[in-house]
Structure 1
Amino acid sequence: MTKERVSVKDVMTQHWIAVDGIKTIAEGLGEIQSERIDAFIINKRDQHDEYGLVLLSDIGKQVLAKGRAPERVNLYEIMSKPLISVQSDMDIRYCTRLFERFGLHVVPVVDDGQVVGVVTYRELVVQGLKSAIH
């Protein structure tokens, strides 16, 4: 039997950490407890600010590949901001279309102005299709 609708909340992950953008890359990496972390969510500085995002691939491209010292580069220097985000009740089919249209691989899931998770192509495809099939 096929499940009728799969939402982002059914497949999102908790593989991210929220940090202040002033932290260095080295400090941010020091906070990672799991090798499965996909992203750093950069906290808002105040209520009028927006969240930022730093992917591990951003660190690879903008720090490691360029030979920059991770203890001298702040997360805010390489973050993407403002973000494209999705809500947890969005159908994964629409989320996948959003990923395709904008060339995304990871987006935060934001409900009521708060980050509640992260969704990646991996979760959309593997978990989403598993849920849809069962």
Structure 2
Amino acid sequence: MMKAEDIMTKDVVTIRGSATVAEAVGLMKEKKLRALVVDRRYDNDAYGMVSETDIVYKVIAYGKDPKQVRVYEIMSKPCIVVNPELSVEYVARLFANTGIRRAPVIQGKLLGIISITDILTKSNFVETPKTLMLEEKIEKAIEVARATCTQHGAYSKSCAAAWDEVEELQAEAAHQKAEPIPSAKISFEEYCRENPAAPECRNYQP
């Protein structure tokens, strides 16, 4: 499963908050970028972000002089940041829920920047969609749970733990599809209906 650190752009271009918007535009043109990370003023300060949208909406749209407007006047700060360990689908969901198109990747320090373009062009969501991977994991977990309960009994801790694992995976899959969460108990009930002679089902009362 790919993470933010796997697809982020590591060569991050930053700018000072005190720089003019004209300087920011010049840097964007030179580096062919749509946004810049705004440097912290001190170690515990938050990073900011200034984008082409900020410049168009807040400067050009009002006829302001970009040589007179400072970056700190139009930037977003603190900006939404991404942990490098966050999986790509959760980064995509964060972007969808907040309406942003890019975010700095930070863990103690600035490591990179991730954008919707990175998600679209660098991730493996076409080859290995999360829902398909989860379905395979659920099937495997159910097999393990059945084997565990057969070996240790329906009321053993290991049996309960195995079905808890199934339930967690089902909940994650339901969250991905925005469907009601199925119950691992239902899976166990189905198992007992299919295998009424199984030792762990002899004393089971659904």
Query: Same fold, TM exceeding 0.5?
Result: yes
Which residue identity does 1:118 align to in structure 2? Answer: I
- Higher RCO (CA < 8 A, seq sep 6+): 1
**Matching residue of 1:75:** 71
Match of 1:86 among 67, 82, 89: 82
- Three-state SS of the structure 2 residue aligned to 1:133 is coil
Tell me the SS of whatever aligns to 2:2: coil
Instruction: Map residues 17-32 of structure 1 onto 2, 5 A cutoff.
Output: 17-32=13-28
**Structure 2 residue 1 is matched with structure 1 residue 8:** no
| Residues 101/64 of structure 1: CA separation in 2 closer, same or farther (3 Å cut) | same
Query: What TM-score do the two structures reach when normalised by structure 2?
Result: 0.57
Shift of 1:49: 1.5
- As a proportion of its length, which structure holds more strand? 1
The CA distance in 2 between the partners of 1:72 and 1:6, in whole Å, is 43
Query: Distance in 2 between the 1:111 and 1:75 partners?
Result: 24
CA contact (8 A) 1:87 1:110 kept: yes
Q: TM-score normalized by structure 1? A: 0.85
Amino acid at match of 2:19: K
- Cα 1:108–1:87 change in 2 (3 A) is same
Structure 1 unpaired stretches of 5+: none
Counterpart amino acid of residue 54 in structure 1: V
Q: 1:43-84: per-residue Cα shift (whole Å, max 9, x none)?
A: 111123211110111111111122111101000000111111
Counterparts of 1:23 and 1:64, CA distance in 2: 17
Q: 2:95 aligns with which of 93, 99, 104?
A: 99
Q: Which has the higher helix share?
A: 2
Indicate the RMSD between aligned Cα atoms, in angstroms.
1.8
Q: How far is the alpha carbon of 1:28 from its aligned partner?
A: 2.0
Alignment: residue pair count: 127
Alpha-carbon spacing, 1:125–1:82, altered in 2? closer, same or farther (3 Å): same
Q: Who is 2:114 aligned against?
A: 119
Provide the C-alpha distance between the structure 2 equivalents of 1:30 and 1:42, rounded to a whole number of angstroms. Answer: 15
What amino acid does structure 1 have at the position aligned with 2:20? T
Q: Give the corresponding residue for 1:129.
A: 124
Instruction: Kindly provide the amino acid, as one letter, of the partner of residue 125 in structure 1.
Output: L
Point out 4+ residue stretches in structure 1 off by more than 4 angstroms: none
1:115 is paired with a residue whose SS is strand
- Equivalent-residue separation in structure 2 for 1:127 and 1:86 (angstroms): 17
Aligned counterparts of 1:9 and 1:58: Cα–Cα separation in 2: 26
Identity of aligned residues (%): 30
Cα distance in 2, alignment partners of residues 70 and 57 from structure 1: 14
